[in-house]
Amino acid sequence: MATPEARIVDLDSRFSLPQADRPETMQRVWVWVSVLIFLVGFIYIDRAVSFNNAVLFLVAGVLGMALYHAHFGFTSSFRHLIVSGRGIGIRAQMITFALANVLFLPVLLSGHILGHAVKANVYPVGLSVLAGSILFGIGMQLGDGCASGTLYHTGGGDVRGILTLIGFVAGSVIGSAHYAWWMQTPNLGPVSFVQTLGPAGGLVVSFALMALVFAIVWGVEKRRNGRVEPLFGGSRFRWAQVVKGPWSWMAGGVVLAIGNFVLLVVSGKPWGVTSAFALWGAKIAQGIGIHVQNWGYWQTTANAAALHQSVLNNLETTDDIAIMVGALLAAALAGKLPARYFRGIPVRMVLGLLGGGLLMGYGARIAFGCNIGAYFSGIASFSLHGWEWFLGALIGSAIGIRLRPVCRLQNR
């Protein structure tokens, strides 16, 4: 009889499929399918929406490739730190955010670039962010992926990500229904280090917080494991890795920081993921007769406009699609797409994935974003709410980790 540990499923096993399960012909087909989607998508978005959105469709595709090749996971980073004291993921995030700070600062100070205004991701620090980030932290451990992780896992061949995504969409639209209430809960208002302390002071405080987290995580990893895992990997670099992977944590982090900066410059706002999920859910709700346009979240100018347009006019929608296609391309180039996509999934895992997505979707709406929009782009924008999100997600992850075995998920 199998032990309980043997019955727990490791979703990361898809990255180590035997060579027999990787038909090279099929991998090449998916490479060309991915390239074709990018080509058709670029042409369509250029003609139907704008050239800027078409360019960002390709940029988001590169982000998807970077996420996949570097396995740049926020969920696993939080889990590994809590479970085994391995902090390489968190340390890589701090360096990535520091680079983003340096890139963002001149643009945020100018307030305009390429003829349009620039808006930082600076939101109120308060109860809604704390509650939302805790819910998100629980959800990303049960859903086995964060917002960006769900997208690149799905694109890379892990169809269980579809279940998480379904829950994500449902939770996002429910969160938008309660958004107005959460906005009335206690908060300190938006706090920007740059606006409060000036450019130099804001940069110093932001860097000091990153250095503090880096040092604490480094010390925990050293004490619990006897060594600190190198950020750049120990293997000799080969040019083929650029296309086929794998990438080091820092290679992925640099691409993500630069990509977020390009999104800021071209679109006027930093990278976000989950508002698109709320829009998809709202469109579905409207289709079955629910008047979501009466909810406070959908009465702001930008959200109301998105609700009355095609979803393909929405930048985050096309970016999210591109991330999945970019991950598909990366997986096919690496020869790691599974031969069989649909396999039996235990009922408890199905419930965990759906429930995890639901919690993440709801949490992201009331916390002004996910691991990308609130955490990454918030800290890159020098916002204190990004750090509050980080602490809340750590608390939530600690809770979610205890629940993972119930859903047949490993904590290794």
CA atoms of 152 and 305, how far apart (whole Å)? 28
Give 232's pLDDT tier (boundaries 50, 70, 90).
Answer: confident
pLDDT tens, residue by residue, 120-139: 999 999 999 999 999 999 99
Contact 324, 148 (CB under 8 A): no
Q: pLDDT tens digits, residue range 65-100? A: 999 999 998 999 999 999 999 999 999 999 999 999
Q: Looking at residue 411, what is its pLDDT?
A: 84
Instruction: Provide the Cα torsion 221, 385, 397, 224; round to 10°.
Output: 10
- Position 198: which residue type? G
Residue 227 CB neighbours (<10 A) = 7
Tens-place pLDDT, residues 290-336: 999 999 999 998 899 999 999 999 999 999 999 999 999 999 999 88
Tens digit of each residue's pLDDT (9 = 90 or more) over 164-181: 999 999 999 999 999 999
User: d(Cα 402, Cα 309) in Å, to the nearest integer?
Assistant: 42
Please state, for a pLDDT cut of 90, what percent of the chain lies above it.
82
What are the pLDDT digits (tens) for 180-229?
A: 999 999 999 999 999 999 999 999 999 999 999 999 999 999 999 999 99
Taking the C-alpha atoms of residue 123 and residue 110, their distance in angstroms, rounded to an integer, is 19
pLDDT at site 48: 96
pLDDT at residue 242 in the model: 83
Q: What does the H/E/C string look like for 288-333? A: CCCCHHHCHHHHCHHHHHHHCCCHHHCHHHHHHHHHHHHHHHHHHH
Any idea what DSSP says for residue 143?
Answer: T
Distances (CA, A) of 266 to 249, 375, 399, 408: 26, 21, 39, 43
**pLDDT reading at 289 higher than 50:** yes
